[in-house]
Chains A and B, each alone.
Chain A
Amino acid sequence: MARGTLLLATLCAASPALGNPFSAARYRGLMGTAVDASGFSVYWNPAALGTLEGVHLSLHAGGVHRDASFDRAVEANGETPETAPYNSGEGTTEAWGVVPSIAGSYTLSLGEDFGLGLGAGFYIARAGLANWNRHPEASAAEPGAFDGPQRWGTISTRLVVATPTLAVGLTHKPTGLSLGVAPAFNLVSLSLNRARNPDQSTTLRDVEGRIAEGRILLEDGEAFAVTWVVGARWDVDRDLAFAVTWHQGADYQVEGKSFIQFGTADETTANARFPLQVADSIRLAAKIGVTDWMTLRSEVEWAGWSRMDKQEAVNLDDPDRPVLMRIERAFEDTLAARLRTDFRVAEAVVIHGGLEYETGATPPQTHEPGLAESDSVQIGVGGSFQLSEHLALTTSFIVHEFVDVEVTNSIQGPPQNGLYTDHRQYLTVDLEVTL
């Protein structure tokens, strides 16, 4: 329970975004790539720890604003003139959140040829707090409509993957080659609530006029898994570096209690298990010092989201493990390409610019308002400021625009055909203390 309380508390400070999907890893803002060398190398690439000197302490606060909408179609979802006022139309969500994280490292020399970096951190790599707007203007004739037309996909969700981590990196200075590894101890907490009928329909009333609409709540689900971050880095010279990392994915088996309220039936409860798949990802990055005042950094990332085929909550109280709820995913692997530029405009001031394109993991047929992402573009600006000999500030502002998606072939139950929009902005503030 203590673990759950910790996760719950952390989640409340976590991002409202369910991105990449549900990625919250924006440590060091536009500086955050596999070639970054800072305290947050424990996340980005532990191989860089051996290239640092002395003590690095990194503090991160990532602010997120998200506004998204889902305009649920009428005929495409089988709604009738009688049910459409309650089950169709636009649902919206807008939220702000802050993701705090911390990391640090200590690097020592092993003779003249080797540098050994030891690191530790506590970060929130994936989080989501989706809370769709309520509709107090909805008719009281159908009590469920208060939760909006998107309620058949989601009403509210809380998810956090909080990760204490350790890391070690070793650098061979004569060649510039570094290797690093970091075990990540991932603690998952998940709660979600959505409208649900036993037959996966959006029926509001039975033939007798009794309320048929129901709800399913998965509360305080928890899981734990150890994953690994493995990285390599080659500093060819001061102006040229290459890096590659592998972030291991996981199939979290989140276990919690489900509460089910179907229509006018008595409430039932069941211990439930809900899988949460997180992709492996591989990043290839390069840093090129073009001139004394300009550096280019580029990165490509592949993420194996195809491992998220579907999510089935199963009833643990039944030895046959029957399915309580199924959400089709059929996610696809994603590719992202990032280009960052750094302009040193003064001895202590570097201006950053960034551009990114990422393919979406969610095919149209499995889009739903709870967890879905389309192709997206990010553009950002930022700056790094050496405030003193031992203290540096990095801040970035990033606009993240997702392509609108019109879904007409939903395979979800109930179907989630309609128009989806998603817009996010991030403001990151990072302090780096070096001793």
Chain B
Amino acid sequence: MRALCLGLVALSLAACEDIPRKDYDDFRERTARARSEGQDGETGGSLQDLTGRWLLHALLQGGIDLGLIVELEPASEPVEGEIPRVYTSRIWLWRQDIPPVACDAGTPCPNNRTCNSYGTCDSPPLVVTTTTVNDDGTFQLIADPLDLGTEVLNSAEPVKARVIMNSRSTGPDNWCGDAEGSVVSPLTLNLAGSRFSAFRHVPQDWVCKVAVEDGEPRDCVGDEVADNKNYEHVYQALPFKCAAQPGDVEPPAPDMGVAPDGGPTRPAAPDLSAVDSMARDLTGNWLLDAKVNGAIPLQLWLSMIYTAGVDGSANLDGALRSVTASPGTPALATFTTTVGADGRFEIWLPGLSISTDLATVQADILLAGATLPDAICGIAAGQVNQPPLGALTERTTFHAEPWDPTTEVPMGRPFACPAE
């Protein structure tokens, strides 16, 4: 029996591929650039008196939108002329006491709630902690554990998190920063890279409005007043991150490095010296298989006319089309370049725009190619501007073979020069 089992193993292993793991790794590779971008730089703030109530708007990792109420109260009796440094912090979910219930000495709060200094009822806070503000106005607000309830993640079980808000006060009415920590239940979510911003707030700021399609929101009536959804606009209108400050690292400009004269900058050509190349007539239709950053496949129909010169070099005029385009369809891009006596060439395609049924990709691409006995191949450089993938890596490769555009598009073809 054991021998038979081992036989099965031997027969199977050769063709075995860990598909779920490969899919997962491929996704991480495709999104690696997105994960490495957009982290706020650490900068100091200014020392401010933070006493009071704040509405905090956070955008957590995973696209989770979160609103919190934070009340900061000096931990000791304030000294005249000094800015408090140590605060008792109380944290609530934004919706815990929505709609506000008025109270005063003669009208106590129901359900174990207490009447606050703003004349409305407060539920018991989720977290009570102590916060110390540094000289430069930075402080850590630690909410651990923070029970966010079930609505935040639309989960059956309450969401519990450990959140460390690295904050800086940017003025008398705002503090903001990055969050770290993690959601620990029901799932595990690292919160590093999450952002938040907090603004002064009083319960009376909660205004009930109902969204109206194609119109201005209207005031709530009847049961709409009790619907939390009708108050979300109050905190969602607030920014969730610090405003840019002098010295901050700016995010890439939308043109992703377009030269000051308005034209894209031509990148340095990738090194193809390791690929054997020899000149020959490249006239004809080609099916170009590419892989962007080694992960995203791309197929294009390449038409070229090769005109040999007397010195061994040649002119190469060409057009790129979608592989699904019919002959006669306008080209996505056209080009003219020269081919060296060794069959090497460069095709510069600034402002290349490739539209599919789903989206339009805009890029500035330099193709560095070599001529093989039965194909052409090479490496691409440049950058994809839309979607904002940024600069291409050296793993952006292509391979093209002759193809009849009236036939089916073959799959599973090479997308790079053959290995040495």
Residues of A near any B CB (own CB < 8 A): 5-6, 8-13, 85-86, 100, 102, 120, 122, 129, 131, 136-147, 155-158, 164, 191-193, 197-201, 203, 205-208, 210-212, 214-215, 217-219, 259-270, 315, 317-318, 320, 322-326, 413
Q: How distant is the Cα of A330 from the Cα of B308 in the complex, in angstroms?
A: 70
Query: Mind listing 14 A-B residue pairs with CB under 8 Å?
Result: A9-B12, A137-B356, A140-B387, A141-B361, A147-B27, A199-B62, A211-B35, A217-B21, A260-B189, A261-B24, A261-B27, A264-B38, A267-B190, A315-B186
Contacts of A199 in B (CB 8 A): 62-64, 152-155
Name the residue on B nearest A270 (C-beta). Answer: B188
A140 touches B188 (CB 8 A): no
Which chain B residues border A197 with CB–CB below 8 Å? 62-63
* Residue among A138, A193, A323 making CB contact with B23, cutoff 8 Å: A193
A211 & B34 in contact (Cβ 8 Å cutoff): yes
- The residue that A191 contacts in the complex, of B11, B20, B38, B65, with Cβ under 8 A, is B20
Would B21 and A208 count as touching, CB distance under 8 A?
no
Contact partners of A191 in chain B: CB under 8 A: 18, 20-21
Looking at chain A's contact residues, is the secondary structure mostly helix, strand, loop, or mixed?
A: mixed
Q: Is the CB of A140 within 8 A of B296?
A: yes
Residues of A within 8 A of B27 (CB): 143-144, 146-147, 215, 261
A12 to B8, CA, bound (A): 10
Contact of B12 among A12, A142, A269 (CB under 8 A): A12
Given contacts A122-B1, A137-B358, A198-B63, 7 further A-B contacts (CB under 8 A): A6-B8, A100-B11, A120-B1, A191-B18, A197-B62, A206-B62, A262-B189
Known: A9-B12, A323-B155. A198 touches B62 (CB 8 A): yes
Contact B8 A198 (CB under 8 A): no
Residues of A contacting B20 in the complex (Cβ-Cβ under 8 angstroms) = 155-158, 191-193, 217-219
B322 to chain A, nearest CB (A): 9
With CB as the reference atom, state the residue of chain A lying closest to B384.
A140
- B1-41 CB mask vs A (1 if < 8 Å, else 0) is 10011001101110111111101101110110011011000
A225 to B103, CA, bound (A): 62
**B31 CB contacts on chain A under 8 angstroms:** 143-144, 211, 261, 264
**Bound state CA distance, A140 and B386, in angstroms?**
9
A326, B62: Cβ atoms under 8 Å? no
Closest CB in chain A relative to B181 CB, distance in Å: 11
Interface residues on B, range: 35 or more
> Does B357 sit within 8 A of A, measured CB to CB?
yes
- CB-CB < 8 A to B386: which residues of A? 141
B225 within 8 A of A: no
Q: Once the chains bind, are B5 and A5 in contact (CB under 8 Å)?
A: no
What residue in chain A is nearest B9 (Cβ atoms)? A9
Q: Could you tell me the distance in whole angstroms from the C-beta of B382 to the nearest C-beta in chain A? A: 14
B248 nearest CB across to chain A (Å): 15
CB distance B193 to A264 under 8 Å? Answer: yes
Would A203 and B154 count as touching, CB distance under 8 A?
no
If A136-B297, A210-B34 touch, does A198 touch B189 (CB 8 Å cutoff)?
yes
Restricting to B264-321, which residues have a CB under 8 Å from any CB of A?
Answer: 292, 296-299
Cα–Cα, bound, A9→B14 (Å): 9
B61 interfacial by beta-carbon distance below 8 Å: yes
Please indicate which of the listed interface residues A147, A199, A203, A261 has the most CB atoms of chain B within 10 Å of its own CB: A199
Set B160, B182, B387: member contacting A139, Cβ < 8 A: B387
- Contact call A262/B62, Cβ cutoff below 8 A: yes
Q: Please encode chain B, from 216 to 251, with 1 for each CB lying within 8 Å of some chain A CB and 0 for all others.
A: 000000000000000000000000110000000000
Could you say which of B12, B184, B191, B299 contacts A136, with CB atoms under 8 Å apart?
Answer: B299
Contacts of A198 in B (CB 8 A): 62-64, 153, 183, 187, 189
Partner of B193, one of A10, A142, A265: A265
Q: Are A324 and B186 in contact (CB under 8 A)?
A: yes
B259 near A: Cβ within 8 Å?
no
CB distance from B230 to the nearest CB of A (A): 19
- Least CB separation from A197: chain B residue: B62
Asked if B156 is at the interface of the complex by the 8 Å CB criterion, the answer is: yes
Judge whether B192 is part of the interface by a CB distance below 8 angstroms: yes
Max chain B CB contacts within 10 Å: which of A100, A142, A191, A262?
Answer: A262
Do the beta carbons of A318 and B184 come within 8 Å of each other?
yes
CB distance from B381 to the nearest CB of A (A): 17
B residues in contact with A6, CB < 8 Å: 5, 8-9
How many Å from the CB of B86 to the closest CB on chain A?
Answer: 32
Instruction: With a 10 A CB-CB cut-off, give which of A265, A268, A413 has the most chain B CB atoms.
Output: A265
Across the A-B interface, give the 9 residue pairs with the lowest CB-CB distance, nearest first.
A139-B359, A212-B63, A265-B61, A206-B63, A12-B16, A322-B186, A141-B387, A322-B185, A193-B20
Q: Answer whether residue B389 sits at the interface, using C-beta atoms and an 8 A cutoff.
A: yes
Cβ-defined contact, B34 with A266, below 8 A: no
Residue picked from B4, B17, B27, B160, most chain A C-beta under 10 Å: B27
Q: How far is the CA of A317 from the CA of B35 in the complex (A)?
A: 26
Q: Which residues of A contact B26 (CB under 8 A)?
A: 146
B104 beta carbon closer than 8 Å to chain A = no
Confirm or deny: B205 has a beta carbon within 8 angstroms of a beta carbon on chain A. Answer: no
B59 within 8 A of A: yes
Contact bitstring B177-212, A, C-beta under 8 A = 1, else 0: 000001111111111110100000000000000000
With the chains together, A261 CA to B155 CA distance in Å? Answer: 18
